Amino acid sequence: MKNLFWSLVGLLFLSASTLNAQIFADVETSLGSFSIELDYVNTPMTVANFIRLAEGSAAWLDMDTGVLRRDPFYDGIIFHRVISGFMSQTGSPNGMGTDGPGYTFPDEVEFCLPHDQAYRVSMANSGPNSNGSQIFITAAATAWLDGLHTVFGTVVSGTAICDAINAVAVDGSSRPLVPVSIVSVSIRRVGAAAEAFNEHEQGVPALFVPDVTITHDGTSATLLFDQGEETKAQVYVSEDLESWSGQSRYSGPGDGLLTSFPLVAETTGMDLAFFAVSLVDYSDFICLPSRLANYTLTFRNVYSSSTDEELGDITYVFDDTGGGTYTSQFDSGSIVSYNYSSDGIGGVLLVYHLTFPPFRYRLGADDFVPPLFSGRAAATAYLTTTSLSLTMDGFSLQPTLVP
């Protein structure tokens, strides 16, 4: 099913030389209005996600409260990051660029339009397969973003408004001094094919609320609900329905059915507690394991463009005690410690080496031929006074072979 979906996307691209029907997003902002033509032929999942959020036709997670909402997502959201001559970014409810709709979905970079001009509308992300709700509008050609970000539309009217947004005064963090906000987004369809495009049948991950039972041992609470493999549980706790704290748990392939979610530290000493629980279903996608213990991970042809340095392959062998070893063309040694978390279709890995600086990787799963996972990756090396962005040809992940 997973491979079939991507095959169908490819067939759509090959068979659709021109668009005979269009879907537009008419965006009203505090500085004026502009219209985006959405490329639903080449990037159907990305366009479907945007439409669902814009219209509030599917559930998204309020990351302040843990509540699933179905109102228009973008209304009232600001452009939180504007870099003149480069791009204008929006889509973060907290206005800090650190949140989204409560789920991620895969890139569609293989067939999408290039970043070859101003007014392309593209997905902001934090590495492969980390799309959510944040988008940006280019102010010039940005070819170096090709293959990294999914272009899913082009501004076709109101470009002067996009220019005005990109020219606003900003602070040292590229945040507009006077907020520019989205007032509303209206979806407009022209033609039979556009009318027939069903945004709920393009594979966007689904959010839902499971059946939950609360147990209490007199000291702390445990939530009982079924969490299947390749899902992510998101649990929020509050004493007063005003201040909420959230945490998540991913269940990967082979983890089996999880049925309880202990909240010992979160609920001990509480006289009254409220809970919000939701699940994200990633079972239609290629999902990474939830743990790296006893796995071997190789990054191929790692390269630093900042220093024009080829680092070659870097291989990690993780043990079951929170450590392991690493090997590269320059050095080999022990892993001091590492932190890994997966959101299903991708994962974040921070490795502390014995002699290397810390590396932070973002993995995006693209293929699985048992027992080998493979995909794209990006990384950052944290030096003493600065950081370096690293590129690579991808990664492979498989269980470590025990002699």
Strands (E) in 55-125, as ranges, are: 60-61, 68-69, 79-83, 87-90, 120-123
Residues marked as catalytic: 81, 86, 89, 125, 136, 145, 149
| AA letter at 354 | L
Residue 30 contacts residue 162 (beta carbons within 8 Å)? no
- Answer whether the bond into residue 262 is a cis peptide, omega within 30°: no
Q: Which tokens hold the place of 176? A: 């507009």
Region for 344 from its dihedrals, namely left if φ exceeds 0, alpha if ψ lies in -120 to 50, beta otherwise: left
Helix, strand, coil percentages (3-state) for the chain, rounded to 5, are: 10, 45, 45
Instruction: Collect all residues with Cβ–Cβ distance below 8 Å to 35 and sequence separation of at least 6.
Output: 24, 25, 26, 27, 155, 156, 157, 158, 188
Residue 182 main-chain phi, psi, to 5 deg: -85, 125
Residue 358 contacts residue 368 (beta carbons within 8 Å)? no
Residue 192 main-chain phi, psi, to 5 deg: -65, -40
Q: Which tokens hold the place of 39? A: 């490329």
In DSSP notation, 32-51 reads EEEEEEE-TTT-HHHHHHHH
Q: Could you give the CA distance from residue 146 to residue 138 in angstroms, rounded to a whole number?
A: 12
Instruction: Collect all residues with Cβ–Cβ distance below 8 Å to 137 and sequence separation of at least 6.
Output: 87, 88, 119, 120, 121, 122, 155, 162, 165, 166
Q: Could you give the CA distance from residue 375 to residue 366 in angstroms, rounded to a whole number?
A: 5
